[in-house]
Structure formats: structure tokens, C-alpha cells
Amino acid sequence: MKRFIVTSIIIFTAYLAQTTLMADIRIAGVVPNLLLVVVALVGYINGRTQGMITGLILGLIYDCQYAGVIGLYALFYMCLGYVNGICHKIFFRDDYTLPVIMVTASSLALGFMTYVFEFLLRSRLNFNYYLRNIIVPETVYTVFIAVLLLKPMLMIYGWAKRVKEKEVTNA
Amino acid sequence: MRKKTPKIYIKPKYILFFLMTVCVISIAVSFKYSEKIAPVKTKVGDVFTPMQKGINLVGRWAYNKYELITRMNELEKENEELKNELEQLKGENRLLASEKYELKDLRAMYELTKTYSDYPTVGARIITKNPNNFYSTFTIDKGSNDGIKKDMNVICGDGLVGLVSEVGHNYSVVRTIIDDKSNVTGMFRENTVTCNVAGDLTLTDKGYLKVTGILKEADVNEGDPVTTAYGSPKFHPGIIIGYVTDIHNDSNNMTKSAYLVPVVDFTRLDMVLIITELSEGLY
């Protein structure tokens, strides 16, 4: 229950931050993807099901407010949450390598999927341009944000877990 | 750890497959019946828009204060310059004002249609820009409660910004003309040669739009102003879009293409005007 509340608050804050702060603080015209960071890290820390649900909810909210069709980004984020959740099995607290690799791969995959569904289908074939000018810079910023957020998120979930254990022993 | 209630355990794999199917169905449904799912989208917007608005107000206030402190000297100098310019413009304005009456009479005589400057407009503030790097849309703080409808034209200063693409109760989404999916029928103001002005993500960094379909015989020059065309189904005619540059022949040797520098600075948009009268188009 605690974990559920914590995740809800994280989703809420991340979405608001991404759509207001992040969209305004553009570095070289590119916005880092905080939503992806949250989905990937929740998946990595808490496992497949949670990563999947987090991705689904964030994607759905994003779809409703910004995208044309409902479900496209929900699908993307959900799959990414699931894939990141698989790595929960080799989760190790002080390891930065794995989350960095996972976030990088997720960001690249999301960029590629967006390109395929929104640009390639409208016969924009210049993939090289989109890769160099949008997907890669976005990935770099996103990974940077992920590294900054990994420790705080681990701490929050660690706290939630401790509270839960305490409740159980007290009862 | 103790479990209070026995939980039904389903493998995450199957949940994923189930939810994926739901998503795919949802994509198909919302693609086909985009009108019918609009209320659902509005509900989400109703929840988040006021909060985003609040955060942005605070952010903007802080930024303004910061800028005030850091740019004091600069601003003083700019103020001086602007005062001089204002004096100059006042003089010019007086001249123009007298000519305006003449123009009005002449227009009435020729029974010309209204220009966009006669249409009623309403101001709106930008709440959020789309956080996805692939799109150029933004949300404004006026919605159907303020009389905004889909397909209303959005301008800033006197240049075209875009089109209202989605309307909620207290917000609406504007697709700018630099968005990759945007497409406007334009014409050259001097000789009413029509062309197609489309946003292109690969040109956004350079600040250009793509102009295609200019007839090869047309007499157009670099720096010519392009406005919205009379035949445009969604845009009011005569709104300036920008100035053409780099005109070159297409490989089909029948049409010419060019780039267009928009008059609106899309990186610094804050307030926009919405023309609250829908364009009737020609059909």
C-alpha cells in the first residue's frame, strides 16, 4: 500500500514536472524525458508488474493531454516498463551501470518507435537527421537525469519498504 | 512477511499481453472515433491543466525576477532605444491612421471581404509546450468555456502561429505551423501565386518552413512575403506567415520550392491571440 502511494506521487510529480519545468528548460532545443526515467527506474527497482503499470498510466495521461490517439504512448511506455522490470532480477543497490544501460536503450527505443510510427509512416525517410538531432541528444539528457534520480528513488522505496516491514512486525 | 489476504497471482507476462491488446484496441478505436473519445481526453485535461497553469505562473514570476536583476543595465539601454523608436512610430502612426479611413472607404466601395485585422480576437496564455521533442504543439489557458472552437486561427502580433487542434473545457491545444504535421495553403502577397507551406522537423532548428508547389513560371523573389491564401479551408485569408528565401527549381522541372522564415518567433511565444471567428472557406 505504501509503495502504491509512493509510486502514485512519483508519477504525479514527474508528469507535472515534465510538462512544465522540463518543457521550459530546453537545452539546445531538446527536452529530457523524465517520464521515461520514472518508468524505467520504477521497473528496475520494483519489478515487471509495477514498471508495466507505471508505464501504462503515464503513457495514458500523456496520450490524453498531448497525443492524437489514445494508447500509442501508453503501449510504448508499458513495454519499456516491462523490459526494465526484467532487470529487477539482477537488481543491485549501488550499481549504476545497469540502470544507465537500460535507460539509454529505452530512450533510443522510444525515439526509434516514435520515428517509425509518426514520421516513417508519413514517408519522412531522413532517419539519420532525426537520430543525430533529436534521439541521441534526448538520450544523453535523459540518462543524465536518470543518474541524478536513481539514488533519491532508491531511498524513497527503501523507506517505503522499511515502513511496511515495521507495520507487519508491530501487528 | 505475512500476507493478510491470499492474492491471486497472474504472471506479469499475461498481464502485459492483456494490456497490450487493450492498448491496440484503444488506438484503433480512438483513431476511428476521434470525436467520441474527446470527452475522455477533456477530463484528464481538466485535472492537470489548472495545476500546470499554477506551476507555470510561479515559474514565470521567478524567471522574471531573475531576469530583472541580471539584465537591469541592458533593460535600461533597451528602454532608451524603445522610447526613441516610439516617438518615430507615433509620427508614422498618425499618417497611417489618416490613411486608414481612406482605405476603409475604398474597401467599402470595392466591397472587399474583411481582412483578418477586423475579426474579433481573444488573448490567451501558453500553459505548457508539448514535452515530446518530435512535436511542436502547445496548450493555452482558454477552452470551450471561453468560446474557443476547433480550427480557430491563432496569431501572435500579426503573424500566423497555428490552428486550434483540440478543445477542452478550460484549455485547448494549438498545433503550430512549424509542427511536422502542419500544412497551410499560402500565397505570395504581391501576385497571389499560391503555394503550400508545411512544417518540417528537419528544418525547425534552422528556423525554416518548407514551401512547395510554386509554379515554375511564377515571378517570385527572395524576401517576398507569404500570407494565407484565399482558398484555404481553415485559415482566414491574408494573415502573414513569413518571408521566402532560397528559391530553387524542383527536379520535376514544373514547380519551385523554397524555404520560409516565419514572422513569429516560436521559441519565445508566451501570449497568443485567437481569432474567434471560424473561417468559412470556399466550400
| Chain A contact for B201 (CB, 8 A cutoff) | yes
Q: Given the C-alpha cell 499481453, which residue does it identify?
A: B17
pTM: predicted TM-score of the whole model, two decimal places: 0.81
User: B161-193: per-residue pLDDT in tens?
Assistant: 999 988 888 889 999 999 988 889 998 888 888
Q: How many CB atoms lie within 10 A of CB A121?
A: 9
**N-terminal to C-terminal alpha carbon distance within chain A:** 15
The number of angstroms, rounded, from the C-alpha of B122 to the middle of its chain's C-alpha atoms is 14
Given a contact cutoff of 8 angstroms between Cβ atoms, the answer to whether B113 and B271 are in contact is no
Model ipTM? 0.84
Judged against a pLDDT cut of 60, whether residue B112 lies above it is answered with no
Q: Per-residue pLDDT averaged across B241-262, rounded? A: 90
| Chain A contact for B46 (CB, 8 A cutoff) | no
- Nearest CB to A66; choose among B16, B51, B130: B130
Task: Output the pLDDT for position B4.
Answer: 61
d(CA B251, CA A29): 32
Q: Which three cell numbers stand for residue A86?
A: 526484467
Q: Per-residue pLDDT averaged across A57-71, rounded? A: 88
Domain segments of chain A as ranges: 2-162
Inter-chain CB pairs, A–B, below 8 Å:
128
Crossing angle (nearest 10°) for helices A34-46 and A2-17:
160
DSSP states along A20-33: IIIHHS-BTTB---
User: A12-30: per-residue pLDDT in tens?
Assistant: 999 998 888 887 777 777 8
Task: Output the pLDDT for position B177.
Answer: 92
B172-176 and B159-167 beta bridge pairing: antiparallel
d(CA B218, CA B191): 9
d(CA B61, CA A148): 27
Judged against a pLDDT cut of 60, whether residue A7 lies above it is answered with yes
Q: If pLDDT is split at 50, 70 and 90, which confidence band does A39 have?
A: very high
Task: Output the pLDDT for position A101.
Answer: 92
Q: Do residue A23 and residue B181 have CB atoms under 8 angstroms apart?
A: no
Q: How many CB atoms lie within 10 A of CB B91?
A: 9
DSSP states along B189-242: TTT--EEEEE--HHHHTTT-EEEEEEETT----TT-EEEE-TT-SSS-TT-EEE
Q: Which of B276, B266, B10 is nearest to B138 (CA)?
A: B266
Q: Per-residue pLDDT averaged across B123-150, rounded? A: 88
d(CA A90, CA A110): 23
Given a contact cutoff of 8 angstroms between Cβ atoms, the answer to whether A127 and A118 are in contact is no
- Nearest CB to A66; choose among B12, B132, B205: B132
User: B76-95: per-residue pLDDT in tens?
Assistant: 888 999 999 999 999 888 88
3-state secondary structure of A105: helix
Query: Domain A2-162 has what CATH class?
Result: mainly alpha
- List B273's β-bridge partners, or say none: B123, B155
CA dist B13 → A83, A163, B16 (Å): 11, 29, 5
Given a contact cutoff of 8 angstroms between Cβ atoms, the answer to whether B263 and B243 are in contact is yes
What would you report as the CA-atom Rg of chain A, rounded to the nearest whole angstrom? 16
d(CA A58, CA A61): 5
The number of angstroms, rounded, from the C-alpha of A43 to the middle of its chain's C-alpha atoms is 9
Judged against a pLDDT cut of 60, whether residue B209 lies above it is answered with yes
Chain A residues near residue B50 by CB distance under 8 angstroms: none
Task: Output the pLDDT for position B11.
Answer: 86
Q: Per-residue pLDDT averaged across B231-249, rounded? A: 88
Mean pLDDT of chain B: 85
The number of angstroms, rounded, from the C-alpha of B209 to the middle of its chain's C-alpha atoms is 13
Chain B residues near residue A130 by CB distance under 8 angstroms: 134, 201-202
Which distant-in-sequence residues (6+ apart) come within 8 Å of B182 by Cβ? B136, B162, B163, B175, B176, B198, B199
Q: Given the C-alpha cell 497553469, which residue does it identify?
A: B53
Q: DSSP character for A54?
A: H
- Nearest CB to A31; choose among B12, B41, B131: B131
Judged against a pLDDT cut of 90, whether residue A36 lies above it is answered with yes
B183-188 and B194-198 beta bridge pairing: antiparallel
Q: Which of B159, B170, B261 is nearest to B207 (CA)?
A: B261
Domains in chain B (CATH in brackets) are: 53-112 (no CATH), 120-283 (2.40.10.340)
Query: Among A89-93, A109-113, B112-116, B153-157, which is the least confidently predicted range?
Result: B112-116
Q: Which of B173, B185, B181 is nearest to B239 (CA)?
A: B185
Residues B44, A61, B174: CA angle, nearest 5 degrees: 70
Higher pLDDT, A171 or B82: B82
| Chain A contact for B62 (CB, 8 A cutoff) | no
Q: Which of A148, A77, A128, A133 is nearest to A106 (CA)?
A: A77
Most B CBs within 10 A among A3, A19, A21, A27, hence the mutation to make, goes to A19
Task: Output the pLDDT for position A109.
Answer: 95
Residues B158, B139, B264: CA angle, nearest 5 degrees: 25
d(CA B115, CA B98): 18
Pure H helices in chain B: 12-32, 38-70, 72-110, 201-204
Task: Output the pLDDT for position A59.
Answer: 93
d(CA B144, CA B149): 6
